[in-house]
């Protein structure tokens, strides 16, 4: 997929495009359906393209840390778009104030340079400062440059259109099971395994701590069942491990910052420096400030017992608790 970064005007494009518009955060079931419909509109020489507006405002993450709060930060969104057949991606700047966005400028000055044969948007398409749908305005503007607009109906869940905003709220509330339903896959955070306080191994629960995950929506502090994918470079394949995820502040050990860490069931080895993807399958409980490490250990074993039962795994570990690292 060709990625074109937009700061002002895009380079003139000759090949005819079927161009989908939106932010596509999460690539949820509604987005997937829209891309499917767009693929069906492709004629012989057409290229499937996406223009992502990136109007998502940055949020305060911690005292002095600012970041985005996304289901799929830039790299992950790109990978998913590729998997849905997108060949060209126009990425708008990330940090602009939504109020500064003008649909008129987009259609008449930017899209007009792209040889767009067809624009595709969802029925709830909404950009800039407008609270209502921007579809009608888009259609009027596209009329002026002679570009047809196809409006794809929204996919609904429980009678409501699936939206990235709803899913972000569900993840923040720890409702990952529901978020997964709407996403059409598990909510996943990809990061690089960093060194922590090295306490995990002494508790009998070594955990892979994820770094570089600031732009992700943070699941509510708690313990989750999940899956961890690791790239096995020796055999050029992905390995998948069932896991327990601890997300939160670790009050029992005096933690101050939000962390996501995974204990991989029946895994032993060194993960430092590796890129891993941790998927949230189901929430088990909230995070607790235990009065002692022993009390935490008892609860962790209970979490493991529950997860093993739910995963249909043997109740005892196939690698020793105190395996040398
Ligand atoms: C299954 C599991 C459940 C956990 N539950 C809690 C918890 O309820 N409260 C808490 O403060 N920390 C909890 N933790 C986080 C541990 O405190 C943390 O993994 C430990 O301090 C090791 O940190 P380290 O990786 O920096 O060595 C949990 C960790 C795991 C793996
Ligand atoms: N079953 C496992 N799950 C997660 N990490 C494991 C496991 N077995 C070994 N490890 C390794 O141990 C490290 C975690 O040990 P831990 O004592 O928690 O140290 P840290 O505080 O640096 O995370 C991981 O980064 C990984 O390299």
Asked which of 134, 166, 198 is the last residue of a domain, the reply is 166
| Residue 174 falls inside a structural domain | no
Q: Are 8 and 139 in the same domain? A: yes
Residue 80 domain boundaries? 2-166
Q: What is the CATH number of the domain that holds 258?
A: 2.40.30.30
With a 6 A CB cut-off, is 264 part of the ligand 1 pocket? no
| Residue 137 falls inside a structural domain | yes
Cα separation, 75 vs 69, whole angstroms: 14
| Residue 259 falls inside a structural domain | yes
Query: Among 204, 209, 253, which residue has the most ligand 1 atoms within 8 Å of its CB, making it the best to mutate?
Result: 253
The pLDDT-based confidence of 236 (bands split at 50, 70, 90) is confident
Report the complex ipTM: 0.97
Cα dihedral: 106, 109, 114, 115 (round 10): 110
Q: Are 26 and 146 in the same domain? A: yes
Q: What is the CATH number of the domain that holds 136?
A: 3.40.50.620
- Which class for 72: exposed (0-12), middle (13-18), buried (19 or more C-beta within 10 A)? buried
What is the count of structural domains for the chain? 2
With a 6 A CB cut-off, is 198 part of the ligand 1 pocket? yes
CA of 178 to the centre of ligand 1 (A): 25
Q: Are 119 and 161 in the same domain? A: yes
Which tokens sit at 304? 């493991």
CA-based max dimension of the chain: 70
How much is the average pLDDT of 24-48? 97
Do residues 22 and 176 touch, judged by C-beta distance below 8 A?
A: no
| Residue 324 falls inside a structural domain | no
Identify the three-state secondary structure at position 11.
coil
115-148 pLDDT, tens digit per residue, is 999 999 999 998 876 656 689 999 999 999 999 9
Going by the DSSP 8-state scheme, the letter that residue 92 receives in this structure is -
Q: Does the pLDDT at position 234 exceed 90?
A: no
pTM: 0.93
| Residue 77 falls inside a structural domain | yes
The pLDDT of residue 96: 61
Which tokens sit at 28? 């949820």
Residue nearest to atom 15 of ligand 1 (CA): 250
Which tokens sit at 148? 């047809």
């Amino acid at each position: 997929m060709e990625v074109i970064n937009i700061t002002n005007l895009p380079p003139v494009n000759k090949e005819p495009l079927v161009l989908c518009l939106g932010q596509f955060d999460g690539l949820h079931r509604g987005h997937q359906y829209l891309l499917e419909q767009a693929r069906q509109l492709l004629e012989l020489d057409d290229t499937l393209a996406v223009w992502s507006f990136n109007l998502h405002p940055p949020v305060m993450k911690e005292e002095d840390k600012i970041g985005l709060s996304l289901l799929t930060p830039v790299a992950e969104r790109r990978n998913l778009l590729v998997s849905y057949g997108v060949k060209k991606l126009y990425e708008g700047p990330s940090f602009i104030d939504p109020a500064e966005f003008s649909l008129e400028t987009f259609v008449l000055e930017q899209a007009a340079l792209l040889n767009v044969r067809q624009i595709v948007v969802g029925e709830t398409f909404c950009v800039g400062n407008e609270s209502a749908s921007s579809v009608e305005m888009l259609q009027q503007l596209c009329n002026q440059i002679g570009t047809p607009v196809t409006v794809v109906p929204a996919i609904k869940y429980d009678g409501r259109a699936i939206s990235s905003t709803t899913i972000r709220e569900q993840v923040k509330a720890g409702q990952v099971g529901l978020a997964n339903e709407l996403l059409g896959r598990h909510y996943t955070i990809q990061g690089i395994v960093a060194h922590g306080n090295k306490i995990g191994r002494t508790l009998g629960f070594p955990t892979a701590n994820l770094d570089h995950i600031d732009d992700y929506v943070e699941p509510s502090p708690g313990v989750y069942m999940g899956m961890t994918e690791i790239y096995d470079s020796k055999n050029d394949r992905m390995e998948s491990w069932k896991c327990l995820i601890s997300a939160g502040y670790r009050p029992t050990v005096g933690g101050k910052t939000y962390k996501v860490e995974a204990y991989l069931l029946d895994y032993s080895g060194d993960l430092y420096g590796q890129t891993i993807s941790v998927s949230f399958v189901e929430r088990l409980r909230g995070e607790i400030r235990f009065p002692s490490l022993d009390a935490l250990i008892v609860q962790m074993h209970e979490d493991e017992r529950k997860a093993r039962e739910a995963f249909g795994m043997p109740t005892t570990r196939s690698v020793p608790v105190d395996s040398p690292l």
